Structure 1
C-alpha cells in the first residue's frame, strides 16, 4: 500500500536524522560511522550512462582543485601538477597551509623554509592564472588547548595574529582566506564546538581585512551540516565571514551526486538546507563555496563500510553529474573544488581521489574535469 510505504520511508528518514544530529560520520578520512550505513543504490550505473547535458556557452570559471603536491619541502612537484591543472582549464586552487609549521616555535616570524615553499607555490599559481583559496589550519603545540594540532587555540587571538601575518605577506597572491578545515568534525577541531570556532573566526576576520579585502570563508564544514551552521549564527558568526565553505561528500561514498537527501547532511542535495539557514539569518547575498568534493577510486577501504570506492569511469561520470547538478539547481554556489589533484602511491581509499595518476597522466576524471570546464 502506498501510504504504508510512505510511512516506512518517513520513519527511516527520522531515524537517520536523529543519528546525524548525535554523531559525526567522517567519509573522506576513513573513520567508521556509528553503525553500518544503509545500503544505497546509485542513481546511475556503469551500464546505464546518463545523457550528456545541454551545451552552454563559455568556460566555467568556478572549477578548481585541491592541491596536495606541495606537502613536502620541494615545490617542484606542485609546479608540475599545476601545469597539468592549468592545462585542464582549472581556475581555482585550494592550498592548505599548516599554522603549526609556519610558527612551530612561537608567535614570532614565520619559518623561512616554509615561507619560501609557499611563496613558490603561490607565485606558480599566479603565473598559471590560478586563483588561490588559502586554507590555514593545524595549531602549533605552544598555542594548542591540548597540544594537538587539531585542537583549537587556547586564545583565538593567536590564530588571528598568524592569519593576519599571512594576509600581510601574501595578499597579492591569495584570492580567498578559509578559516580552518572541517571545524564541525571532532578529529579536526577537538570538541567541534561552534561557539569556540565562531570566536576564532571573528578574531580572524578583521585581522585579514586589515591587509586584504579578499573573501574570508567560514569552514569548510564537513558535509552540509546545517544544524552546526545554525549554531554558529547563534554564537554571532554573521558579520565574520563573506562566504560559507562546505564539503558535501556523499555517504556511503559510492552514492551518486543526485542521491536524495531526505534530511541527511551527507548529501550534495542537502545544499539547499545550508542556503535556508543563511537566508533565515539575512545572508542571502553570501555564496556557498564547495571547497572539497570528490569520489575515490582507491580500492582498499581498509574494512570501512562507509568508504566505498568507485571505478575510475564512475568517478569521472560523477564529477560531471555533480557539476551539472550544481549549475542547474544551486545558482548561489560559487567555486567548486575537486578533492584532489593527484593520487597517492598506495591502493588505499584515501589515495584514490585524484584527477591524475602519480606519474601525472590523466585519469578519466581529468578528462571529465576538462569537459566540465568547457561546459560540455
Structure 2
C-alpha cells in the first residue's frame, strides 16, 4: 500500500511535468525542421559505464545550466547519463521537427565523453488518439516506431542506448481507463526495435524501466506480471536489455536495498531474472535506469548510505547491468514535494553527502 500511495502521490508531479511540457513545447514557439536522416556533426559516443545519472529535468534547463549539470556529472566521476527526450518536444505536430534542445544536450554530453542513454517517452497530443498528452501511450505502435527510428537516425553514433518508455506498468506514465497494457507495450517494442536497429545498429535498446509496484485495479501492475505478459505477447527479440527502477519506497531509515525481503525491489529483481531465463533471455542484462532517494523523505546521510549500498549491492547481482542514480540536482531544495529533492546536489549546485558516495564508487 505504501508503494501505491507513492505512485498516486506522484501523479501531481506528472501533472506539473505535463503542464511544463505544454508550455515550453508549444508548436508555434518551435523552430520547425524537416526530419533529417542524420545530423551533420557526428561524434562517436562513449560506451555506457556501470554507473550513471538519470536526469529527466535537464531537458528544461538553459544552455548554460545544461553544461553546468554535465560538469557536475564529470566532477562526480560519472560518464553515463540516462536522459529524457520527450517526443512531444521533438515532434510537436506530424510534420514539424525541432531538434534544437536535443542536439544541445547530446552535443554537451558528447563533448565531455558522457555516454547518452536516450529515454523516449511523452506522447504529443496529436499522437495519443484522444488520450492526455504526455502521459498517454501512442495511438498506434507504428507512430512510436516511426518516431524512434527518426530519433535514432538523427543521433546515430552520438547516442549509446535507447530506452523505450518509462514505468509503463503504472498509470502515471501510461494513462488510460484500461491501465497498464503489456500486450500493447510489446507491440510498441516490436515496432520501435527494428526501426532503431536499422538506423543505429550498434546501439543498445532497453525495454522501459519498470516500477517496483503491486497489482492494484487498473492503476498499477506488478513488474513481474507485466514482463510475463509482455513475453506472452511476443516481445522476445525486440529489446537488448530490460529496464527496472528498484526504488525502496520505505521511510524506515534502516532499510537498504541489500537487506530488503522477498517482496521488495531486491526480491523482484530475482523474479524478473527468473522470467527472463524462462523465456530464453537469461543472457540479457537488467539495467537499473533509475534508483534514488528524496531528502524530503530521509535525511541526507541516509540518502547517501542508501545510494552507496545500492550501487555496491547491484554490482554483485548476476545479470545486473548499468545503474543510474536519480538524479543529479534538486529541482527545488527544501520543497515539501519529494520529487523536488532527489538530487545528490542541491539546487544551488552544492553537493550532498551522496555526491561523495557516488564519487567514491565511480
TM-score (norm 1): 0.78
| Map of 2:166 onto structure 1 | 181
Quote the residue 1:4 is aligned against: none
Partner residue, 1:127: 111
Alpha-carbon displacement from aligned partner over 1:24-50 (angstroms, at most 9, x marks no partner) = 726367349xxxxxxxxxxxxxxxxxx
Between the aligned partners of 1:63 and 1:126, the Cα distance in structure 2 is: 17
In structure 2, C-alpha distance between the alignment counterparts of 1:350 and 1:118, rounded to whole Å: 23
SS at match of 1:210: helix
Q: Report if the CA contact (8 A) 2:7-2:172 is conserved.
A: no
Which residue of structure 1 lines up, in the alignment, with residue 32 of structure 2?
A: none
2:4 is aligned with 1:25: yes
Quote the offset at 1:65 in angstroms.
0.3
Q: How far apart, in 2, do the equivalents of 1:144 and 1:88 lie?
A: 39
| Root mean square deviation of aligned Cα | 2.0
Q: Which residue is 2:193 aligned to?
A: 205
The structure that has the greater radius of gyration is: 1
Preserved CA contact (<8 Å) 1:125 1:131: yes
Distance 2:64 2:266 in 1: 34
Look up the match of 1:38.
none
Partner residue of 1:235 out of 227, 233, 236: 233
Cα separation, 2, equivalents of 1:73 and 1:339 = 17
- From 116, 133, 145, the counterpart of 2:129: 145
After TM superposition, give the deviation of residue 132 of structure 1 in Å. 0.7
Residues 29 and 164 (structure 1 numbering): CA distance in 2 closer, same or farther, change over 3 Å?
A: farther
Is 1:156 the equivalent of 2:141?
A: yes
1:348 equivalenced with 2:337 (yes/no)? yes
Cα deviation for residue 186 of structure 1 reads 1.4
- Superposition TM-score, scaled by structure 2 size: 0.81
* Structure-2 change in CA distance of 1:218 and 1:26 (3 Å): farther
The 3 A distance-change label for structure 1 pair 26 and 105 is farther
How far residue 237 of structure 1 moved from its aligned partner, in angstroms, is 0.5
Point out the structure with the larger helix share.
2
Structure 1 residues 253 and 210, CA, compared in 2 at 3 Å: closer, same or farther? farther
**Mapping of residues 48-67 of structure 1, within 5 Å:** 61-67=49-55
Report whether the alignment pairs 1:101 with 2:116: no
SS in 1 for 2:243: strand
Greater CA drift, 343-352 or 251-260: 251-260
For residues 194 and 69 of structure 1, what CA distance do their matches in structure 2 show?
27
Instruction: Quote how far apart the aligned CAs of 1:69 are.
Output: 4.5
Which residue is equivalent to 2:277? 279
1:292-311 aligned within 5 A: 292-298=290-296, 309-311=297-299
- The alignment status of 1:215 with 2:196, answered yes or no, reads no
Q: 1:26 to 1:125 in 2, by over 3 A?
A: farther
Identify if the C-alpha distance between structure 1 residues 105 and 87 changes in structure 2 by more than 3 Å, giving closer, same or farther: same
In structure 1, C-alpha distance between the alignment counterparts of 2:277 and 2:355, rounded to whole Å: 35
Gap regions ≥5 residues in structure 1: 1-18, 33-59, 299-308
Shift of 1:333: 0.9
* 1:123-159 Cα distance to aligned partner (Å, 9 max, x none): 1111111111100101111110333121121111111
1:9 alignment partner in structure 2: none
- The alpha-carbon distance between structure 1 residues 26 and 192, as it changes in their structure 2 partners (threshold 3 A), is farther
Query: How far apart are 1:261 and its partner, in Å?
Result: 2.8
Match in the other structure for 2:360: 371
- Alpha carbons of structure 1 residues 260 and 70: separation in structure 2 relative to 1, 3 Å: closer
